[in-house]
Chains A and B, each alone.
Chain A
Amino acid sequence: MIKINLLPRTINEKAIIRNTALAFAVLFIAIIIGGFTYAGNLSKQVAQKEDEAQVVEAWEQRVEGIKKQAQDQLASIKPIKDKLDFINAVLKYNQEYPKLYANVAKWTYANVMYTGLVCDGAQVVITARTKNLDNLGRYLLNMYRATDLFTEVTISGVPGYGDASQTSMMGGAMPGMPMPTMAQSPAFSPAQSSLAGISAISSSMERTPAGSGWISFTVVCKLKTPITAPSFAGSGAPAADANASGMPGAMPGAPAM
């Protein structure tokens, strides 16, 4: 048996159009409902995140507050610390010169006698005397080796002989010369950097006539670490103006600086 559809196509087409429209309507509604649902979820997440942000921000403020307290504490300590630091610096400063002089004494050759020792914080001026040139040479070489103390050592007053007594010797190179003696009229090379301030020696060794058996000389040593007197930031004018402060001046018999 053969089935033949004799109905016109338009009859089915209406149903198809209706079904298509219904499908789109369903899709449209689904989009709207889905959108609202998703937006609702997002709203919950947003609320949750904002709550979290508020908590974290409050925490941050609390921590910042604690940090500020710590900074305030540290700021309040400054004037106290300044005073304490100054007191300690003065106590330390009072020990600096004895320590320096003791170190100078350590480097001093035993057969040399000091007659004056003074320091202005930047350099030490030593007036001394000895019996012979060997002692003087040994003493001078010792001082040159005091690289931990001095950057420059200058000596004056080494005696000469006759007309050549004003010869001035400045750092000529003497490579390989192990221990120059004063009798050999040594000149020191900048290359001999193992010796204290040898490169900076401007020693004008004045040849002065020998006198009463003693050779008097003056040594000027520049300190590697200058000694600076501490000062307090808040100190104004002195409360009293006694006539002496700092380096004692006009000392009888004090060596000239």
Chain B
Amino acid sequence: MSFSKLKQIHVIIIGAFLCVVAVVGVFMLLIKPKQAALQAAQARIDKASPVGNQAAENQAIADLNKAILEVSNTQKNLNVEMAKRMPDLSFTRRDLGMLQLWHEQIDTLGPLLEKFAKDKNIKVLSAKFSIPAPPANPNDAIFDQDVLVFPLGVVQVKGSFKDLMSNITRWNNCRRLVMVSSPALVGTSPNLVASYGLTCYIFPVAKGGDKIQMAGTGTADASGGGMPSGMPAGSPAGM
């Protein structure tokens, strides 16, 4: 094939075509993928930058410090209240915890409340508290509760209006957390008689830990409540 027959117009057309092909080829094969990668990288930056920047980090650190401080303060406040109003009951070891609860429920709570109920400014007509026996099973569900609730009974006191109101709010100073229910007033001052119910709340320091393997229950995860069943068949008569 001889190029001598090509005229200028042919060269222009072929040259232009080849240049267009080169432009398109270079753009499609080299530039476009790079631009796409560039845009993708920019998109990643845009997505991450609202959180991934110094101001956001400073803010997050400030929030964390605030949260730590809040936890610390709240824990401190709770510790103060726990030390002021709660017995040291930990059920992490259920057997020891149960004994602690026995002492609290049988030896401490009742006398403490009855002593506290005596107010020199008023006459106490009735302040007999009734606290049932504590559970005798260390796997009792009570040891898994966040709070132990003891409805104590009704207190009746006599005095002037002001002294009775002081007597009610005085329960906030008790060494246990006691809620006074709605008081009813009867009579006329200074011989008013106020009657109100009391409920004691106790937060254990720690809830029940691993359940204890007990004779007669078969498995450690007895459902709790009451004495373990299953006395040996040959138990002596008269027990």
On A, residues with C-beta under 8 Å from B are 13-14, 16-17, 20-21, 23-25, 27-28, 31-32, 34-36, 38-39, 42-43, 45-46, 49-50, 52-53, 55-64, 66-67, 69-71, 73-74, 76-77, 79-81, 83-84, 86-87, 90-91, 93-95, 97-98, 101-102, 105, 113-121, 227, 229-230, 232-248, 251-255
| Cα separation A46 to B151 with both chains bound (whole Å) | 73
How many whole Å from A126's CB to the nearest CB in chain B? Answer: 9
Question: What is the 8 Å Cβ interface bit string for chain B, positions 43-54, against chain A (1 contact, 0 not)?
Answer: 011001101110
**B108: Cβ under 8 A from any A Cβ:** no
Question: What is the 8 Å Cβ interface bit string for chain B, positions 18-29, against chain A (1 contact, 0 not)?
Answer: 110011001100
Of A35, A49, A70, A254, which is within 8 A of B45 by CB? A49
| Cα separation A240 to B180 with both chains bound (whole Å) | 17
| Cα separation A84 to B19 with both chains bound (whole Å) | 80
**B136: Cβ under 8 A from any A Cβ:** no
The tally of residues in B whose CB lies under 8 Å from a CB in A reads 93
How many whole Å from A95's CB to the nearest CB in chain B? Answer: 5
Are A35 and B48 in contact, with the CB atoms below 8 A? no
Known interface pairs A234-B145, A243-B153; 5 further A-B residue pairs with C-beta atoms within 8 A, sorted by A's residue number: A28-B18, A46-B34, A62-B57, A66-B61, A98-B169
Q: Report if A21-B11 is in contact (Cβ < 8 Å); known contacts: A31-B19, A95-B172.
A: yes
On B, residues with C-beta under 8 Å from A are 3-4, 6-8, 11-12, 14-16, 18-19, 22-23, 26-27, 30-31, 34-35, 37-38, 41-42, 44-45, 48-49, 51-53, 56-57, 60-61, 63-64, 66-68, 70-71, 74-75, 77-78, 81, 85, 105, 129-132, 134, 141-142, 145-154, 161, 165-166, 168-169, 171-172, 177-188, 193, 195-197, 199, 201-203
| Cα separation A87 to B172 with both chains bound (whole Å) | 10
B-side contacts of A90, CB under 8 Å: 177-179, 201
Are A35 and B203 in contact, with the CB atoms below 8 A? no
Would you list 23 pairs from A and B whose C-beta atoms are within 8 A, ordered by A residue? A13-B7, A17-B8, A17-B11, A20-B15, A38-B30, A46-B37, A52-B41, A56-B45, A61-B52, A66-B63, A66-B64, A69-B64, A70-B66, A73-B64, A77-B71, A84-B78, A87-B81, A87-B85, A101-B183, A105-B161, A245-B181, A245-B199, A247-B181
